[in-house]
């Protein structure tokens, strides 16, 4: 019986992993469809190229990527989806930007309001939070060399700022220079883990441990929502989620 129980546990874990993978694929498919609406060619559409790179980083099948692009061009029918960004406050007034892609704005808003209220948060008015952030390019690189050496290479490639964490370096760029800096880093054989356009806080805030734990739970709950793509905050410890 112990073997049976063990197998049941493995199956349950696999089911959870499959569900999680399916949710991630669904979110990235929407991202690709939105990006491909203006131009279905990643060579001339940087936003689409980023979305496809994100899909490949999680081993999303090629046919899923192609299907998402075809949905944008009308070759495959699908629900009308749109990008909606919400400005909000978490507990202790921590500023949040929540990016969504949805086929029903009213449903998304109601669900996000409900999640926020559970964790002492609330939706803000348009413009109430965004002024606290700047749009920036972000390139995360593996720290496989001396951090000081990597930082000098990054600055030479056009980095505007560099953030050091335990296992990686985050290189901040101007949005319009993201692709150029990425190419220069690749030419220098730098291993790139993640590339994105993010909302970077102008100033970070610190909170007590209890509030930080509450915020982590809020971010997890928001992330579980099918429509939510990205969550940004000005929390010092968790600036990008």
User: Number of structural domains, the chain?
Assistant: 2
95/62 same-domain check: no
144/62 same-domain check: no
Give the global pTM.
0.79
218-226, Cβ contacts within 8 angstroms, sequence gap of 24 or more: 218/90, 218/91, 218/115, 218/116, 218/118, 218/119, 218/121, 221/115, 221/118, 221/119, 222/98, 222/112, 222/115, 224/23, 225/100, 225/108, 225/111, 225/112, 225/115, 226/23, 226/26, 226/27
Per-residue pLDDT tens digits for 58-81 = 899 999 999 999 999 888 887 789
Could you tell me the residue range of the domain that residue 225 belongs to? 82-241
The contacts of residue 76 (CB under 8 Å, 6+ apart) are 67, 70
Cβ contact 49:42 at 8 Å: yes
| CA–CA dist 175, 222 (Å, integer) | 26
**Residue where one domain finishes, among candidates 37, 52, 73:** 73
* pLDDT number for residue 17: 65
Q: What is the CATH number of the domain that holds 51?
A: 1.10.10.200
Confidence band of 4 (pLDDT split at 50, 70, 90): very low
**Residue where one domain finishes, among candidates 49, 73, 97:** 73
Q: What is the CATH number of the domain that holds 124?
A: 3.30.70.980
**Residue where one domain finishes, among candidates 73, 100, 125:** 73
Per-residue pLDDT tens digits for 153-185 = 999 999 999 988 777 889 999 999 999 999 999
106/195 same-domain check: yes
Q: Does the pLDDT value for residue 19 go beyond 50?
A: yes
């Amino acid at each position: 019986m112990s073997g049976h129980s063990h197998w049941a546990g493995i199956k349950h874990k696999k089911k959870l992993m499959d569900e999680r993978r399916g949710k991630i694929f669904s979110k990235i498919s929407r991202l690709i469809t939105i990006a491909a609406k203006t131009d279905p060619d990643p060579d001339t559409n940087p936003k689409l190229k980023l979305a496809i790179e994100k899909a490949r980083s999680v081993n999303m099948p090629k046919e899923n990527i192609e299907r998402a692009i075809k949905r944008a061009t009308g070759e495959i029918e699908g629900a009308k989806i749109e990008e909606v960004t919400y400005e909000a406050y978490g507990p202790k007034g921590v500023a949040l930007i929540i990016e969504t892609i949805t086929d029903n704005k009213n449903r998304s808003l109601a669900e996000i309001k409900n999640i926020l209220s559970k964790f002492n948060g609330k939706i803000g008015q348009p413009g109430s939070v965004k002024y606290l952030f700047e749009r920036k390019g972000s390139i995360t690189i593996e720290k496989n060399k001396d951090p000081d050496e990597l930082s000098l290479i990054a600055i030479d490639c056009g980095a505007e700022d560099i953030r050091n964490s335990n296992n990686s370096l985050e290189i901040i760029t101007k949005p319009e220079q993201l692709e150029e800096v990425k190419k220069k880093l690749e030419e220098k054989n730098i291993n790139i883990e993640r590339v994105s356009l993010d909302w970077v806080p102008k100033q970070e805030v610190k909170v007590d441990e209890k509030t930080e734990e509450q915020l982590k739970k809020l971010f997890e709950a928001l992330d579980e929502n099918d429509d939510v793509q990205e969550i940004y905050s000005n929390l010092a410890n968790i600036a990008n989620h």
